[in-house]
Every structure is written in structure tokens, then in C-alpha cells.
Structure 1
């Protein structure tokens, strides 16, 4: 179970596959289970602080969660990755896009884009 410590909080993530990197943004990495993402890519799915296996207080606002995600992207050398936001993390994705300038594609469900 890999993790990175950001701002004193251990953030757990899953990493699998080989190929161009895609980051799957949801409250819990497990929210992507069974969604049918294709082979041929490397994936990183993060348990946001306070969710899943990660430490942290529940109830952080989307802008606060986005700061953790940005830290993860930098530390994992994933700032150029394709990023997809699950509906349960759409606000975090919007904050990353609008305020920080990171391109995030919002999804209607957990299925891969066409």
C-alpha cells in the first residue's frame, strides 16, 4: 500500500498498469473498482485525506483536498498526466482546473471516456 506524506498526512494511493499515465480522482481509490479502464495505461488512484485508507480529518473542503492532490501530482511526477474526476470528486477537479490551471476531465460516472 504505497503512500506519500503531505502536510503531515499519509495519503494512500493505488498504482497499476503500464503506458501513458492517467490519474483517477475520486474520494476513494476503490470508487474506480470495476469501472473497466483499459490496459495500455498506467493509473494512479488516490484516497483523498479523510477517505478510504488515507489519514486526515473528514469534511475538508474541495479547495483543501485539491491542495493535497496537487502535492501528490508533483511528488509522483504526474503533473503532465491525463486527470479524470469521478462525480464524487467533481468539485476537487473543478478547483484544480479553474484555480490552479490543471486540466481535469469530469466524468458522468466511473466509466472511461470514449
Structure 2
């Protein structure tokens, strides 16, 4: 019986320590997305890498760690390219999308 009580007590203490450790983790800051324009993020909407206030169809380089984007209000389409300078295979991504970082090297965004 004594061994069982020590085991349960040990598991209880371990659970409390684990919960305290989880609570001690710093909270991640919320990313504030601009109300208009195209915003490119690192990973899955983690950190803003690039913001284009008024996309005009110009060819721009896509940061290598980019993995998601959102086009707010005025953005009608984003076309990504596998090569630099809007060359290579083209993929229309729409205005809210995740993708594999490094898959695309350049893009064109269009507004209304």
C-alpha cells in the first residue's frame, strides 16, 4: 500500500510541475494584419515579412521563408512563380493561402 501511495503522489507532483511549466511559457504576440493590401508572412501567418499597400501587378521577389499570404480589401489576385523575375511555373494563389516556404521565388499581385 505504501508503494502505491508514493507512486500516486509522485505522479501528482509531476503533473503539477508540468502544468506550472506550461503556464510559465510566454504568450505569443498576436500578428496585426493591415486592413488593406497584400501581406506576406513567414510560415503559417506567424510574422509579417512583406506588405504591399497597393499592388499594381509589378513583379516582386518573394522572401524565401514566406509560407502564407493574405490580400485584404483591394487585392483581387496573387500569382506566384517558381523562378525569379516572374518566370517559371505560375500558380494563382488567390488572396488567402498557405504554401511550402521556398516553393515560389517571385509574385505579382493585382488590386481592384
The TM tier, using the shorter chain, reads under 0.3
Question: Where is the strand percentage greater, Structure 1 or Structure 2?
Answer: 2
Using the size of structure 1 for normalisation, the TM-score is: 0.26
Question: Where is the helix percentage greater, Structure 1 or Structure 2?
Answer: 1
Using the size of structure 2 for normalisation, the TM-score is: 0.26
